[in-house]
Amino acid sequence: MNSKLNAIGIFDSGLGGLTAVREIQKIMPNEDIVYFGDTGRVPYGSKSREAINKYARQDARFLKKMGVKLIVAACGTVSSVAPDLSEELGLPYTGVVYPTCFTAAQVTKNGKIGVIGTAATINSHSYKRRIQAKHPEFEVLEQHCQLFVSFVENGLVDPDDELVQMLVRRYMAPFKESSVDTIILGCTHFPLLAEAIQREMGENVTLIDSGKETAIYTKKILDEAGLLRDDGHKGEAYYYVSDTPADFEKFAGLFLQNSPENRVEHINIEEY
Ligand code: DGL
């Protein structure tokens, strides 16, 4: 296993964190990326706090072993349930909750924000607490959408697909009856369903993409730490998964500009 010194390390339970990878590649084309998708243990959002904590530590330790310069938990569930691991790891570390809430609070006009996430994320009230700590006057409506994760992991994201439409309609119903003008896609899998959600909610509702906001924030951290790469190097991405690479390769193209074909390696995450 080669060390990937100077790369950005990113992890998620599966494919979702690729929404952050896509944005990082767009705004930081010189950066190398090491991605770990814990496809053998997805979904995280329906697991216990103990399990999520254990998985987050193992995922981050694997990336640290790879020699990365910063770690991004591109997972709303880990960011909501597990602690900030920067001290433990001795590395800059960020999750998705802070940057996503920051943007949502700037974007809303009527102070009514919807949050969708996994069951663990919604039960933790992480987004709601973060927003209301700064803006106690804001109303935050929460809805878990755990089944979205399975849909996305199986490539079921087509907004014309009846099954997708039915599930989106069911989960969005509480928001339809409210007057939220902003919805946080608080799980990094969900931006893949953004078109279906937007159609259901209409154009007056702004969707906040947790993968994208986290990528922008990551750039800021690297810049402030003097770690941003701008030497003309063409950034490469290296992918690792805990289940068979084939399924990951099959659907990763939905998230990325280029499919990572033949560039995905299996690792045994229990060793970390
Ligand atoms: N993509 C993850 C998140 O942002 C995890 C989804 C899951 O594994 O349940 O929450």
pLDDT digits (tens, 9 = 90+) for 122-160: 999 999 999 999 999 999 999 999 999 999 988 899 999
Q: Which of 63, 82, 113, 187 is catalytic?
A: 187
Mean pLDDT of 226-250: 92
Q: What CATH topology corresponds to 8-95+212-271?
A: Rossmann fold (3.40.50)
Mean pLDDT of 222-239: 92
pLDDT in tens, 58-70: 999 999 999 999 9
pLDDT in tens, 190-214: 999 999 999 999 999 999 999 999 9
Q: Is 16 in the pocket of ligand 1 (CB under 6 A)?
A: yes
Report the separation in Å between the CA atom of 30 and the middle of ligand 1, taken as the mean of its atom positions: 27
Q: Is 120 in the pocket of ligand 1 (CB under 6 A)?
A: no
Strand 112-117, strand 182-185: pairing: parallel
Mean pLDDT of 206-234: 95
Looking at ligand 1, which residue's alpha carbon is closest to its atom 8? 43
pLDDT for 251 beyond 90: no
| pTM for the full predicted model | 0.95
Report the separation in Å between the CA atom of 37 and the middle of ligand 1, taken as the mean of its atom positions: 11
pLDDT for 239 beyond 90: yes
User: In which band, very low, low, confident or very high, does the pLDDT at 250 lie, cut at 50, 70 and 90?
Assistant: confident
pLDDT in tens, 17-27: 999 999 999 99
Instruction: Let me know if 101 is a catalytic residue.
Output: no
pLDDT for 2 beyond 60: no
pLDDT for 35 beyond 90: yes
What is the pLDDT, as a whole number, of residue 270?
96
**Could you tell me which CATH number the domain at 97-210 has?**
3.40.50.1860
Report the separation in Å between the CA atom of 43 and the middle of ligand 1, taken as the mean of its atom positions: 6
Q: Which has the minimum average pLDDT: 90-99, 111-120, 230-239?
A: 230-239
Q: Where in the chain is the domain with CATH 3.40.50.1860?
A: 8-95+212-271, 97-210
Q: Is 82 in the pocket of ligand 1 (CB under 6 A)?
A: no
Q: Which of 75, 145, 208, 222 is catalytic?
A: 75
What is the pLDDT, as a whole number, of residue 139?
97
Instruction: Let me know if 145 is a catalytic residue.
Output: no
pLDDT for 254 beyond 90: no
- Measured distance CA(190)–CA(177) in Å, rounded: 21
Mean pLDDT of 221-243: 93
